[in-house]
Chain A
């Protein structure tokens, strides 16, 4: 008997990315010019969270740094030699030979075509090495929950500050919403638009509309569900008999059927093109807590991210000028590997930024070095860029959000790194104090 939900329980199955890579190979032929007719003032923001602590030092790293070579078993570090040599990225900081994992071929293409930027040595300035604490802090956009007792997510406050309207302003693609959308009542969890339907009849639906009123949590959840149902079902394309038509990606993009990130991104693309006012999508990807057997699982994880992002970007070609994707994780992993072919919880990590208005083909941020005295607590990659600086720049330059101080309470200054192109909204200038 197969596990009923096996697809969601094992989100990554190695070797299913052939289609993804095929889709990605068309990237260079795409025109990146803005489609003026469809230009809008705000980017669609896609925030992808790699849950479990992605090992950024196994993803993008300076392969010729002797400290790096000495600290890790060969299976857990990138190399410039052999059949599985990592792919060179130009423009690395500190004159080092920064490379990207050999399974990230599509990301390397996106980097070379200047659509993808990497910010390295960034993250949470709180030193917690607890998954759950670090994720919660990042989802809420704060550094210290005790000091900044915040009951909403950073995306929630952003959407509130920009006055999110539209039928379906924000979605999550997992069973439940991540805390980045905590407290945003009109956010909807929509893992699969095709399956997002009510099995009862019209009279039951009408009864539910009468029953789910008021201010209790259940009532609010029910009301939001009824609204999301109405929006999604009325915008899905159907044939003349009312049957749902399958989603048709553009530009020859083919989403692999059994990969969670790819299907999440397909949901985002589909809803974005429905014209229901989608502004933010939050996507979770599990499986990054690689304490053991990392050399076995990590290449597949990277290939999935790389392939899925490439297919999505291809499908969304018409949108490149108004699309910003960020990828982050709660922390990186320790420089030194352990004795069970794994790495333990670390600190600094990388973020990926993808979009038509990204200053791509560069590694942003100050590289702190990997010598023992340069490490955080003499063990982990230091954080030289607060992850919120990257998100603040994205919100300001690409979405016109001036209320950075309320989205990221406790962030002292607005200090863009130059990852995104665009002008700040009124009232916000680089270097200005926030709180």
Chain B
């Protein structure tokens, strides 16, 4: 701990690891200025990111489509295609739902494009905190884009851009409504199909348990005895019960998608791919959510919005969301004092447009943030991107790069259950995960891996020739701090291959690159590089 400088800590937790030069920059400007800078990102992509995005080619391939009579409906496709959907509107994307004109692969492609963009931005964007938070909120409001209903993957650019990224530093109540009315979430947690009665409780349950109050505030043993929840009789219950879930599910009936369907009673929805409220499915009668009575026959959307008001303002929500933010940014088990301070700011700024940014500021400038190291294991996406950043690899994402992270058990935008990827070390340090971590740098530096190109020989100063010097340089470059001599020697030996550690290597050009790769791969395999 003692030898890990503060900029290295900050860049591993509020960024995807340092690129060369970053540590010095943060050291000069100081952490408070860096935090303030990162909390005010430019919404646009920087020129370098734009250029990298423009260079991406994603493979897409499908056979020609034919209708029942054998007539051609769409042509076969096999190409490496530039990204084209990142800026598309909901209406533009929705046109691809026409199965008589477009193959299913065309509806899945938008989510792959966002996945490629996530790699590019995490690797190259200077707005690193924005990328970290996008990853955090994608998991907090997890949707599996790989479900059978392809419309979730289709609308992914809108979900990523207008829901997750737009609100990452914003107001939590507004964020909640953007999520609740987003097509991917409406599909994934089934609210789009929820009708009175019985309503489908899937969304309402996860709204309470995962998005807002959290399982710690679930009084399951009280089930329907709402008066027994402490605080209820004053209208301020400290937690929720199953009855709240059922009532909230009723409140959200009718929150669905303008998908052109015709209902049992003969109404036809518009077909625009936007959020749609359909009164014919709404359960209009009185409800009681969190000890608050709702009148019957409220206006359109009022019931659901009132639920969102109640859960967004609930103290348990502040605790739950702040615990997760501290867990992401500081340690698996952050202190109660830090969570408390963050939760206080969360509650006090609940009506502010920059509520979340205010909370982040408290966490990132806390003593605990600066004084904690190594109590997190990087998730695979963090591990891979931090390696690409430290080595200044040329990155052009493709399915093979996605596969590296998938193979270690992290499925970007495709985690199956609504809780999102686990954020505790035990999940990511098992045998299969660890083996994947060791194999990843070797795979990425292999000749046939085109998604990342390495120029280690160019990055290595020409004055450094001995294995010990090289090991010291690459440890400092990749980890950001020095290792004790015994460990340094183990790494230097990987480069020396039997030669003396302090004698300049005298090898050919190809062998030189080979030795550097063996060394760099091993530095990336150290226990230290797994942690942040």
Contacts and interface: CB of A to CB of B under 8 A. Distances in A.
A225 B434 contact: yes
A5 B403 contact: yes
Interface string B42-63: 0000000000000000111100
Contacts of B491: 207
A221 B197 contact: no
Nearest to A181: B430
A204 B493 CA distance: 9
B194 A339 contact: yes
Interface in A162-188: 172, 175-177, 182, 187-188
Given A190-B432, A377-B223, A175 B527 contact: no
Interface in A353-387: 377
A337 B190 CA distance: 14
B148 interface: yes
B16 to A, nearest CB: 19
Contacts of B409: 175-176
Contacts of A187: 430
B428 interface: yes
A132 B418 CA distance: 10
Contacts of B417: 51-52, 131-132, 286, 289
B218 A128 contact: yes
A220 interface: yes
Given A132-B215, A229-B435, A338 B430 contact: no
Contact of B200 (A131, A224, A286, A291): A291
Interface string B170-193: 000000000000000000011001
Contacts of B205: 129-130, 344-345
A204 B430 CA distance: 19
Interface in B511-527: 518, 521-522, 525-527
The 9 closest A-B pairs by CB, nearest first: A175-B409, A221-B429, A4-B403, A189-B432, A340-B193, A5-B406, A291-B202, A225-B434, A9-B146
B201 interface: yes
Contacts of A292: 190, 193, 200, 202
Contacts of A415: none
B198 A336 contact: yes
A228 interface: yes
A6 B112 contact: no
Contact of B374 (A3, A216, A224): A216
A225 B497 contact: no
Interface of A: 1-6, 8-10, 51-52, 126-133, 172, 175-177, 182, 187-191, 196-201, 203-204, 207-208, 210-212, 214, 216-222, 224-225, 228-229, 286-287, 289, 291-292, 336-342, 344-345, 377
Contacts of B148: 10
A339 B256 CA distance: 14
Interface stretch (B92-100, B358-366, B436-444): B436-444
B430 A221 contact: yes
A176 B197 CA distance: 39
Contact of B494 (A172, A197, A204, A344): A204
Given A130-B209, A207-B522, A224-B431, A4 B399 contact: yes
17 contacts: A1-B61, A2-B399, A9-B146, A126-B220, A129-B220, A130-B220, A175-B408, A204-B522, A212-B527, A218-B425, A224-B434, A225-B430, A225-B438, A228-B431, A340-B195, A344-B198, A377-B242
Interface string B96-127: 00000000010011001000000000000000
Interface string B398-420: 01101100111101001011010
B433 A175 contact: yes
Contacts of A289: 202, 417
Nearest to A334: B198
Nearest to A134: B220
Contacts, number: 204
Contact of B434 (A52, A128, A221, A338): A221
A70 to B, nearest CB: 14
B487 interface: yes
Contacts of A198: 435, 438-439
Nearest to A127: B220
Nearest to A189: B432
Contact of B525 (A10, A133, A204, A214): A204
Chain B, interface residues (CB within 8 Å), range: 35 or more
A60 to B, nearest CB: 23
A340 B195 CA distance: 7
A208 B194 contact: no
B431 A221 contact: yes
Given A5-B407, A51-B417, A339-B199, A211 B526 contact: yes
B432 to A, nearest CB: 4
Contacts of B144: 9
Contact of A207 (B428, B434, B490, B530): B490
Given A211-B525, A216-B531, 11 more contacts: A1-B105, A2-B399, A5-B403, A127-B221, A132-B215, A175-B409, A190-B431, A200-B525, A220-B429, A291-B190, A291-B200
A344 B432 contact: no
Contact of B201 (A189, A208, A224, A345): A345
B402 A4 contact: yes
Contacts of A2: 399
A191 B218 CA distance: 34
Contacts of B494: 203-204, 207
B199 A338 contact: yes
A218 B220 contact: no
A190 to B, nearest CB: 7
A199 B220 contact: no
B107 to A, nearest CB: 13
A341 to B, nearest CB: 8
A13 B416 CA distance: 15
B224 interface: yes
A303 to B, nearest CB: 17
B27 to A, nearest CB: 27
Contacts of B434: 218, 221-222, 224-225
Residue among A130, A177, A210 with the highest chain B CB neighbour number at 10 A: A130
Contacts of A345: 201, 205
A3 B108 contact: yes
Contacts of B406: 4-5, 8
Nearest to A377: B223
A286 to B, nearest CB: 5
Contacts of B336: none
A132 B403 CA distance: 27
Contacts of B60: 1
A282 to B, nearest CB: 12
B377 interface: yes
B337 interface: no
